[in-house]
Amino acid sequence: MTSISEDSDKEKVRSVSVDLNNDASLVIDIPDALCERDKVKFTVHTKTTLSSFQKPEFSVPRQHEEFIWLHDTIVETEEYAGLIIPPAPPKPDFEGPREKMHKLGEGESSMTKEEYAKMKQELEAEYLAVFKKTVQVHEVFLQRLSSHPIFRKDRNFQIFLEYDQDLSVRRKNAKEMFGGFFKNMVKSADEVLISGVKEVDEFFEQEKTFLLDYSSKIKDASAKAEKMTRSHKNVADDYNHISGALNSTAADNNTAFKKTISVCVLQKLEDRVASDQELKLTELLRYYTRDIQAAKDLLYRRARALADNENSNKALDKARLKGKDIAQAEENQKQCLQKFDKLSESGKKELTSFKARRVVAFRKNLIEMTELEIKHAKNSVSLLQGSIEILNSN
């Protein structure tokens, strides 16, 4: 079992989405999480001044599936069709460290005790990094909801935060699977629908073009960033092996060998650079890939409403022509128009604030990443200078 508690690292890590937790009336965080085998249990902690809650402060344990349930119920709520639904957090993925652990177990007999200890340490660090990441994305999801004027009032959200029993969402698994399949079908359909619909509004026309293009580019950048950071990790691993091999020298009269251990301290720095890059740039790109998708989903819902609106107009014309069911058709048309207008209005607001949010997040993230790169490189410089001095003076 691994647990993680509040630490200042998380503050730095929370730059993916900004303007969260600014409102003291509802503050949510995940201060703690336990990992048992494959299951992660998040401790969701809420502090609130709102009267709609029973207590001012409370915590509940939640698993990933329950977060998905919350996301899905919000998506399915008709009222929220005109809002960008915060993307669901991805499932905790411990595949990387698990594979490494397997390799470690297999290779145990062929390693020295020190090498094994070192690899184990490395493995634990990687495990911890994945763990921190998954806590972060789950936390940000909740904070997006709590900082949104409409979502924070959602009944299911409140249940999620407050209800201290199991939400019994497990039976959703079969439905989830089917739902997921359906969602994928719909996603490819939405591209067609969005591009097919005749747009009357200049704003939405531009948004459509922008989002479709941006979506594919950011997905690509996100994938390439991941590959790059993985390569960086491989380089760090190699330094680890080199230091392992050096450390296992028995009585060594070649002092230059011993002094090369400093080269391997660099491995630690390379590793840190790789994981900071990972958290900053890669996570930013990953997150916004999902967020862009959520924005696209909004466009899709609006396009559907527009299509419905047009169909209802056609139905009304037909009814008038036939002289039958005119009142019903009129009512239908009125409703469709209302829905469409409401969607368009709130959609416009949401997309505008999304733009601003995205730019701010990129800015914060890029600045932090750059400052970290500079810090690490400067550290390396002084370390290297020190080592060179020592070696030259002997």
- Residues of this chain that bind another protein (CB under 8 A): 210, 213-214, 217-218, 220-221, 224-225, 227-228, 230-232, 234-235, 237-239, 241-242, 245-246, 248-250, 254-257, 259-260, 262-263, 266, 355, 359, 362-363, 366-367, 370-371, 373-374, 377-378, 380-381, 384-385, 387-388, 391-392, 394
**Minimum gap (Å) between residue 18 Cβ and another protein:** 13
- Beta carbon nearer to another protein, 195 or 385: 385
**Minimum gap (Å) between residue 163 Cβ and another protein:** 41
**Minimum gap (Å) between residue 249 Cβ and another protein:** 6
Which H or E element spans position 42?
strand 39-48
Task: Count the Cβ atoms, other than its own, within 10 Å of residue 152.
Answer: 20
What single string gives the DSSP state of each residue in 1-27? -EEE---HHHHHHTTSS-S-S--TTEE
Contact 362, 222 (CB under 8 A): no
- Beta carbon nearer to another protein, 43 or 260: 260
Contact 369, 238 (CB under 8 A): no
- Beta carbon nearer to another protein, 24 or 256: 256
In angstroms, rounded to a whole number, what is the distance separating the alpha carbons of residues 232 and 87? 28
Beta-bridge mates of residue 42: 33, 62
**Minimum gap (Å) between residue 194 Cβ and another protein:** 17
In angstroms, rounded to a whole number, what is the distance separating the alpha carbons of residues 41 and 61? 6
- Beta carbon nearer to another protein, 183 or 378: 378
- Beta carbon nearer to another protein, 51 or 392: 392
- Beta carbon nearer to another protein, 247 or 313: 247
Task: Name residues whose C-beta falls within 8 Å of residue 252's C-beta, 6 or more positions apart in sequence.
Answer: 258
DSSP class of 82: G
In 3D, which of 157, 129, 108 has the Cα closest to residue 10? Answer: 129
**Minimum gap (Å) between residue 203 Cβ and another protein:** 12
Which H or E element spans position 57?
strand 57-63
Burial 36-64 (b: 16+ CB within 10 A, else e): eeeebebbbbbbbeeeebeeeeebbebbb
**Minimum gap (Å) between residue 360 Cβ and another protein:** 8
**Minimum gap (Å) between residue 100 Cβ and another protein:** 16
**Minimum gap (Å) between residue 252 Cβ and another protein:** 9
User: Quick one: how many helices (H) and strands (E) in the chain?
Assistant: 11, 4
**What single letter denotes the amino acid at residue 58?**
F
- Beta carbon nearer to another protein, 74 or 218: 218
> Quick one: three-class SS letters along 198-215?
CCCCHHHHHHHHHHHHHH
**Minimum gap (Å) between residue 259 Cβ and another protein:** 7
Contact 132, 65 (CB under 8 A): no
- Beta carbon nearer to another protein, 216 or 311: 216
- Beta carbon nearer to another protein, 32 or 226: 226
In angstroms, rounded to a whole number, what is the distance separating the alpha carbons of residues 61 and 161? 9
In 3D, which of 249, 336, 282 has the Cα closest to residue 129? Answer: 282
In angstroms, rounded to a whole number, what is the distance separating the alpha carbons of residues 260 and 388? 10
